[in-house]
Amino acid sequence: MSDITPDIVSFNDPETLNTDDAWVTVIRKMDEAYADLVRTQVEVEEKNTQLEQAQSFSNSIKDAMNDVLIACDQRGVIESTNRALERLTGLSEAALVGRPFSEFLGEPCIEKFQQLSATLAQEPVRDCEVELISPNGHMPLSINCSPRFDHRGRLLGMVLVGRPLGELQRAYKELNEAHAELKLAQERLVQSEKMASLGRLVAGVAHELNNPISFVYGNMHALERYTERLTTYFDAVNGGHSREELRQMREQMRLDKIIRDLGSLVDGTKEGADRVKEIVDDLRQFSSTQETEKAPFDLVHVVKSALHWIIKESKTDTQVLQTLPERQWVLGHAGQIHQVLVNLVDNAVDAMQNSTQPVLTVEMVVKDATVHLTLRDNGPGISDSSLPRLFEPFFTTKPVGKGTGLGLSISYGIVSQHGGELGLANHPQGGAVAHMTLPAVNEEGEHA
Ligand SMILES: Nc1ncnc2c1ncn2[C@@H]1O[C@H](COP(=O)(O)OP(=O)(O)OP(=O)(O)O)[C@@H](O)[C@H]1O
Ligand SMILES: [Mg+2]
């Protein structure tokens, strides 16, 4: 453009010269104006591109949201929304814009939404549940709502962000199911460990049952023999034998002694049967799989029972030094605490299998309403590398088939659930010492 000059130029005529100057000036100005125009055009195009990019960026964010985003005016009329609302209502943005949001709400929520819009300027709304009408029925939506102002601070309308609760509920349901499965797996694990610990008792139990049973059998044989003799004698009485014959028979068959013995035989048999019942009751109490209510029970009895069965079954000749009160009540599940003690005693006995004189020292004291029970063995103690891992599930140093490594981890959980603590450490004078605490209660189960 700056190259353009008039076609005819006369250099001699002053008037023409002035006119020419004026032309040149005009043309130069036009030239500059045109250049400005071109520059402005380029700038406008650049701004346009930036605007488009900003718009497509904000649209992409809006559309990527799973939550519903709605901008409404002061009356609740939709001005802009995103794909999430389009998906839920089955309507395009064009069909949604210009319609009051309350049109898409279930009847009971309309009033709630109107109240919400009225108070919005004073305070934003958090987690308000409304029902959105969707082609698949009513969909619960948890909405957060904030006021929208212009640059002078005048209320323009509101911005609503809604989270479909259906998805949240599904996520919760899945979480709950996973939790329930985990709990079930844990219960099964506890149960199988309990069965394993009961399995360890079986040999001792079989031996213990053998005594009273053989005792009962012996008595029954004697009673059988006595019954035969008494039947023979009564047959003779009924058969009309003479007094003298009957007296001789009584003497030969030592019937007087039999009659004297009968009472103690029956008592002895009953005692044997009672002992069998006691043993079965003891084990049944500790093997119950039912989740009963927590109840007060005597911890001393449970400790003695675990010691009795495990030491009896073990091949080693373990000396047990006990300092136990006569009774000590704690609250919870006797069977579970029995399982803990069976494992602790079992671990101690295993640790002392190579000790020349195995000694297990068991002490129970109550301090500040807490029962402290310690079991100290004179085995080799615990290695530094094992110490931090003792309560890990499946951590074991025992050969395959001997230990599952679940004993301590399950025991830890049980003691925690009873409001106590369980620890295992090396004793300064050698061996390992297990320390268990539980809240002390009185016989009624009330905390001291
Ligand atoms: N009194 C103890 N002395 C030395 N080490 C011990 C003692 N008690 C436990 N431990 C160590 O802790 C490990 C874990 O014990 P835990 O009772 O959890 O499992 P486990 O006895 O190996 O197997 P499970 O009890 O399942 O039969 C044992 O393998 C052992 O190495
Ligand atoms: Mg164990």
- pLDDT tens readout for residues 67-111: 999 999 988 899 999 999 999 899 999 999 999 988 888 887 777
Answer yes or no: do 438 and 386 share one domain: yes
Domain contains 196? no
CA distance 428 to 406: 26
* 94: containing domain: 64-169
Number of domains comprising the chain: 3
Q: Say if 444 falls within a structural domain.
A: yes
Q: Atom 9 (ligand 1): residue with closest C-alpha? A: 347
Candidate of 339, 390, 412 to mutate for ligand 1, largest count of ligand atoms within 8 Å of Cβ: 390
Interior CA angle at 60 toward 57 and 65, to 5°? Answer: 130
In the reported structure, the alpha carbon of residue 116 is separated from the centroid of ligand 1 by a whole-number distance in angstroms of 62
Structure tokens at 285: 């109490």
Residue owning the nearest CA to atom 19 of ligand 1: 405
Q: Mark which of 9, 30, 63 sits at the end of a domain.
A: 63
| Residues 244-259, mean pLDDT to the nearest whole number | 91
Task: Kindly tell me if the per-residue pLDDT of 362 is higher than 60.
Answer: yes
Picking from 153, 169, 185, the residue at the C-terminal end of a domain is: 169
CATH number, domain containing residue 152: 3.30.450.20
Ligand nearest the Cα atom of residue 401: 1
Ligand 1 center–CA 405 separation, angstroms: 7
Is residue 51 assigned to a domain?
yes
Return residues with CB closer than 5 A to ligand 2 (ion).
343, 347, 407
- Distance, CA 409 to ligand 2 centroid (Å)? 9
Q: Counting every residue, how long is the chain? A: 448
Two tokens, residue 444: 């009624």
Mean pLDDT of the chain: 86
Distance 397 CA to ligand 1 centre (A): 7
Question: What pLDDT, on a 0 to 100 scale, did the predictor assign at position 114?
Answer: 76
SS3 426: strand
Rounded distance from Cα 429 to ligand 2 centre (Å) = 22
393 compared with 422, residue with greater pLDDT = 422
Q: What's the average model confidence in pLDDT over 287-311?
A: 84
pLDDT band of 4, cuts 50, 70, 90:
very low
Residue with the smallest CA separation from ligand 1 atom 5 is 382
Provide mean pLDDT across the span 110-116.
Answer: 76
User: 115-129, 255-269, 270-284: which range is least confident on average?
Assistant: 115-129
Query: What's the pLDDT band for 297 if we cut at 50, 70, 90?
Result: very high
pLDDT category of residue 285 using cuts at 50, 70 and 90? low
- At 142-174, the pLDDT tens digits run 888 888 888 898 888 889 999 888 777 778 888
Indicate whether 265 belongs to any domain: no
Instruction: Give dist(CA 382, CA 424) in Å, integer.
Output: 9
Asked if the structure places residue 326 within a domain, the reply is yes
- Average pLDDT over every residue of 47-63: 89
- Alpha-carbon dihedral angle through residues 201, 207, 208, 214, given to the nearest 10 degrees: 150
| Shared domain check, 392 and 348 | yes
At 128 the pLDDT is: 81
Calculate Rg over the CA atoms of the chain: 47
CA distances from 391 to 183, 251, 407 (A): 19, 72, 8
**Does any domain span residue 273?**
no
State in Å: Cα 403 to ligand 2 middle: 6
Site residues for ligand 1, CB cut-off 6 Å: 343, 347-348, 351, 377, 379, 382, 386, 390, 395-398, 403-409, 424, 432
Q: What is the mean pLDDT of the segment spanning 166-192? A: 83
Angle, nearest 10°, between helix axes 243-252 and 255-287? 50
Domain co-membership, 144 together with 86: yes
What φ, ψ does residue 18 adopt, rounded to 5°?
-60, -45
- Coil, helix or strand for 94? helix
376 and 419 together in one domain:
yes
- Position 264 scores a pLDDT of 87
Cα 408 to middle of ligand 2, angstroms = 6
**What gap in Å lies between CA 313 and CA 221, rounded to an integer?**
30
pLDDT value at 347 more than 90 = yes
Residue nearest to ligand 1 atom 20, measured at CA: 405
Ligand in nearest proximity to the CA of 397: 1
Among the bound ligands, the one closest to the CA of 375: 1
Same domain, 30 and 70: no
Asked if residue 427 has pLDDT above 80, the reply is yes
In the prediction, which pLDDT does 389 show? 92
3-state secondary structure of 292: coil
Q: Is residue 270 part of a domain?
A: no
Does one domain contain both 33 and 158? no
Q: What 3-state DSSP class applies to 52?
A: helix
CA trace torsion 214, 215, 221, 223 (10° rounding): -160
